[in-house]
Amino acid sequence: MTLYLTSRGASVLRATWLASLALVVALSLLPDVGPPAVFNHADLAAHAIAYAWLALLPRLALRHNPRAWALAMLGLGLALELLQGLTPYRSLSWWDMAANTLGVALGTWLGGRGRQWLPLR
């Protein structure tokens, strides 16, 4: 029995992706009001997880070139880090950019595996 991602399921994933994009942009540019870190470099783990999620969703839900979406998410991470450097309350971090890149690579890879198991119908 083969499972397929229906057009309705893909629409839900696209909407989730757009909402996630908005959330990441807002949290990246607002003053840092997050919870205290529970371990050293927890922010790097959060960056990697967020960008893995942002790369995974379009890889699953869209038929277009996966490299283009991965590059778009890398561009988003770079742009947001540069914009943070322009604010008085945030700072540009090369480590955050590295975590974003790792997350995009992971999400793109996981999305590729997911497309094998759950193709679009």
Each residue of 11-27: pLDDT tens digit?
888 899 999 999 999 99
Nearest Cα to 48, choosing from 81, 96, 16? Answer: 96
Q: Are 34 and 89 in contact (CB under 8 A)?
A: no
pLDDT at 2: 58
Tell me, what DSSP letter sits at residue 37? P
Tens of pLDDT, residue by residue over 42-89, are 889 999 999 999 999 998 888 778 889 999 999 999 999 999 999 999
Beta bridge partners, 5, equal 120
What residue has token string 């604010």? 87
Q: Are 63 and 115 in contact (CB under 8 A)?
A: no
pTM (predicted TM-score):
0.88
Q: Which positions ≥6 away from 15 have C-beta within 8 Å?
A: none
Residue 13 and residue 57 in contact, taking contact as beta carbons nearer than 8 Å: yes
